[in-house]
A and B are shown apart, each in its own frame.
Chain A
Amino acid sequence: MRAQFDIKTYTGFRAIALVCLFILYAPLIVVAVYSFNASQSLTNWEGVSLRWYADVFTGPESGKFKQAARNSFIIATVAATVATAIATLAATGMVRGGRFKLRSLSFGLISLPIMVPEIVLAVATLIFFSSIGFDRGIMTILLAHIAFCIPFAYLPIAARMQGIEHSYEQAAQDLYATKRQAFTKILLPLMMPGIISGFLLAFIVSLDDFIITNFVKGAGVETLPTAIFGSVKQGIKPNIMAISTMLLGVSIVMVTISFFVSKADAIR
Chain B
Amino acid sequence: MKILINAFTALALMTGANAATADDRLVLYHWFEYIPQELLDKFTAETGVSVTMDTYDSNEAMLASLKAGGIGTYDLSVPGDYMVAIMANEGLLDTIADGELKNKGNIAPEWANPNYDPGRRHSIPYQWGSTSFAVNRDVYGGDINTTDILFDPPAELQGRINMLDSQGEIMAMASLHLGIPQCTSDREQLKALDAMLQDAKQHWASFNSDTAKEVLVSGDAAAGQIYDGFAAKAREEGANIEYAYATQGYVAWMDNIALLRDAPNRENALKFMDFMLVPENVATLTNWAQYNPGVSGVSALLDPALATQPEKNPHADAGPGVFIEVCSEDVQAVYDQIWTNLKK
Contacts and interface: CB of A to CB of B under 8 A. Distances in A.
- Are both chains from one complex? yes
Interface of A: 42, 60, 70-71, 74, 77-78, 81-82, 84-85, 126, 129-130, 135-139, 142, 184, 218-220, 222, 230, 233-235
Given A130-B68, A233-B57, A234-B33, A219 B27 contact: yes
Given A126-B68, A219-B52, A135 B11 contact: no
Interface in B174-224: 208, 210-211, 213-215, 217-218
B313 interface: no
B163 to A, nearest CB: 15
Interface of B: 1, 4, 7-8, 11-12, 14-15, 18-19, 27, 29, 32-33, 37, 52-55, 57, 68-70, 72-74, 208, 210-211, 213-215, 217-218
A81 B8 contact: yes
A233 B259 CA distance: 27
Contacts of B217: 235
A55 to B, nearest CB: 13
A251 B68 CA distance: 33
Contacts of B211: 233-235
Contact of A135 (B4, B37, B69): B69
A74 B53 contact: no
Contact of B8 (A42, A82, A139): A82
A74 B69 contact: no
Given A129-B69, A234-B210, A81 B74 contact: no
Contact of B14 (A74, A82, A220): A74
Contacts, number: 77
Given A129-B69, A135-B73, A142-B15, A78 B8 contact: yes
B318 to A, nearest CB: 29
Nearest to B53: A220
B240 to A, nearest CB: 16
A196 to B, nearest CB: 13
B15 to A, nearest CB: 6
Contact of B32 (A77, A81, A233): A233
Nearest to B72: A135
A100 B268 CA distance: 59
A248 B18 CA distance: 27
Contacts of A184: 1
19 contacts: A42-B218, A74-B15, A85-B4, A130-B69, A135-B69, A135-B72, A136-B73, A139-B15, A219-B70, A219-B73, A220-B54, A230-B32, A233-B32, A233-B57, A233-B208, A233-B210, A233-B211, A234-B32, A235-B214
A42 B215 CA distance: 13
A259 B1 CA distance: 24
Given A81-B7, A230-B55, A60 B210 contact: no
Q: Of A77, A129, A184, which is in contact with the most chain B CB atoms at under 10 Å from its CB?
A: A77
Given A78-B12, A139-B15, A234-B32, 10 more contacts: A42-B218, A74-B18, A78-B15, A81-B8, A81-B11, A82-B8, A130-B68, A136-B70, A219-B54, A220-B73
Contacts of A135: 69, 72-73
A109 B253 CA distance: 51
A81 B15 CA distance: 15
A78 B68 contact: no
Given A126-B69, A219-B52, A81 B4 contact: yes
B11 A77 contact: yes
B37 A60 contact: yes
Contact of B15 (A84, A126, A138, A233): A138
Nearest to A222: B54
A210 B4 CA distance: 26
Contacts of A60: 37
A136 B73 CA distance: 8
Contacts of B73: 135-137, 218-220
A184 B2 CA distance: 11
A184 to B, nearest CB: 7
Contacts of A218: 69-70, 73
A219 B33 contact: no
